[in-house]
Amino acid sequence: MHHLSIDLETYSSVPLAKAGAQKYIKSPDFEILLFAYSVDGAPVEIIDLARGERLPPWLVQAITSQEENFAQWYTDICLKAELVEYSSMKGFIILRPYGQAIWENIQKNLDARFKATGHENVAMPVLIPESLLRKEGELVEGFAPEAAWVTMGGSEELEERLAVRPTSETMFCDHWSRVLHSYRELPMKYNQWCSVIRWEKTTRPFLRSREFWWQEGHTIHETAAEAEAETMAQLNCYASFCEDDLAIPVVKGRKTDKEKFAGAEATYTIEAMMKDGKALQSGTSHYFGDKFSRAYGVTFTGRDNQLHYPFQTSWGVSTRLVGAIIMTHGDDDGLILPPAIAPWQVVVVPIAPHKPGVAEKAAEVAASIGRYARVKLDDSDNAPGWKFSQWEMKGVPLRLELGPKDLEKNQCVLVRRDTREKTFVSLDELPTVIPALLDSLTRDLYQRALENREKRTWAARTMDEVKALAAADTGYIKTMWCGDLDCELKMKEEVGLSSRCMPFEQEQIGEVCPICGKPAKTMIYWGIAY
């Protein structure tokens, strides 16, 4: 929480002492001449409104608090931290430079992980012929309600409708049917970074939009065991990335048949809990068996000199991860970015840069930090208080303040974004202190997110317990489950909870399914999801 002190110099032709404040302010010629403020005891900043100077945006564009309206808070962050802008095309967003920079860092880190395990990047066409899409029945049935279609090419009507890519399994299979010949060419482990179109009815920045950016990995293997191992390896890759780089703890598990990817034999997921207790499916990995290979005629000559169908996987994460970062770590003042994906890990703010040597030293310090951290020198003519709030809004992990008194002592002030803890540090010690603070901040972000999940996760043995817990708060509710679809649907209908996953780490909460009373051997997570 910040402390804001304000002092105003005003004018009105109405005498304040005689008429009172209300009439004084309502006078047609009332105006504010000078606006003075101080944030958290910092030096007073004076804005001369009479000469056309303007108030900083953060003073007049407050963020809705999380407690007041979490959904509106989220939207405020997306817009006011300059991550996105709404497009004139309904349901589509524009990634602004800062939002794109976050996504690029996610891409960079994940791409390195993929390539380290032998995956290669490719690019597939954005348009899919309808006949090709329909070769695998479950896939087209699952995506038909969300598909966007191209029916004209220039001024001519097309002989066949073309779907704008909702996912690329069909194109990969079509490609493999022509280029795969022998078991010696397997495995083929591909990935592509692209956008897809799904005609969502309800949209929200990063979480659900008609166009979103993602990576989709697609692999084919000689044996089912190899494909199943790939499926789990990529799920573990996602989990490690979320926990290590994004500081977001996740639950790994298998989706129910109702929630699995259309056409998959099995879908595995990482589920993250947001600050408000709702779940966010943050990444999925699918095992297809040889179903798609058979549908699309993908074959290879095996070791026995006979034709075989390869076994296939697909897996993906999207810009939804940016939404996860916002809702896991952000506060009422804006973003809090994990250092691994922050566009700027440190922002250097000169204090009184007009004083001798301050601007020059700030530039020198920033250049030095640039050797081991991503750094931004804010040498704009905005007031320090304005800069502090701007970079807090954007979630920069560390702020470095450097003023005339600091120069005298060869020191600076480092401020953590998450705790606002201030540390006086010798300039000579920055190469050691900054990386240590960034590491500490990442660990603390993870720990706070984990504590939030743990305090919002409950076990229930009866439907009455489930209903009471769901009515009291939002979070994960663990129960046993018999595996029947009817029970899954009943939980949604009666309590409003969807199945999140059957976690790999199972617990024996009871002996029976609380929904139907039948014997149950599987523990499942229920929750409200974005």
377 and 481 within one domain = no
In the three-class reduction of DSSP (H, G, I as helix; E, B as strand; rest coil), residue 443 is classed as helix
Say which CATH number the domain at 159 has: 3.30.930.10
Say which CATH number the domain at 400 has: 3.40.50.800
240 and 182 within one domain = yes
Whether 185 is covered by a domain: the verdict is: yes
503 and 464 within one domain = yes
Whether 34 is covered by a domain: the verdict is: yes
299 and 355 within one domain = no
279 and 181 within one domain = yes
315 and 202 within one domain = yes
486 and 431 within one domain = no
Whether 322 is covered by a domain: the verdict is: yes
Structure tokens, 375: 């750094």
Pairs from 31-34 (Cβ < 8 Å, separation ≥ 24): 32/8, 33/9, 34/8, 34/9
* pLDDT at residue 497, rounded to an integer: 98
Low-confidence ranges of the chain (pLDDT < 50): none
* pLDDT at residue 239, rounded to an integer: 98
517 and 402 within one domain = no
* pLDDT at residue 62, rounded to an integer: 67
pTM beyond 0.95, yes or no: no
506 and 442 within one domain = no
DSSP of 493-509, one letter per residue?
HHH--EEEEEESS----
Q: Which of 329, 353, 387 is the last residue of a domain?
A: 329
* pLDDT at residue 52, rounded to an integer: 57
Neighbour tally for 62: CB within 10 Å: 10
Bond prior to 187 in cis (omega within 30° of 0): yes
Neighbour tally for 273: CB within 10 Å: 29
Position 513, amino acid: C
Q: Which of 453, 483, 503 is the last residue of a domain?
A: 453
* pLDDT at residue 178, rounded to an integer: 97
419 and 311 within one domain = no
Q: Secondary structure of the chain: what % helix, strand, coil (to 5)?
A: 35, 30, 35
Tally of structural domains, the chain? 4
447 and 473 within one domain = no
Whether 335 is covered by a domain: the verdict is: no
Whether 259 is covered by a domain: the verdict is: yes
Left, alpha or beta for 327 (phi > 0: left; psi -120 to 50: alpha)?
alpha
Q: Which of 395, 427, 453 is the last residue of a domain?
A: 453
Structure tokens, 198: 């799904």
Whether 174 is covered by a domain: the verdict is: yes
Whether 300 is covered by a domain: the verdict is: yes
> What range defines the domain where residue 67 resides?
4-80
In whole angstroms, give the CA distance from residue 268 to residue 286.
6
In whole angstroms, give the CA distance from residue 274 to residue 476.
11
pLDDT in tens, 34-70: 888 887 777 888 887 766 566 665 565 567 899 999 9
366 and 232 within one domain = no
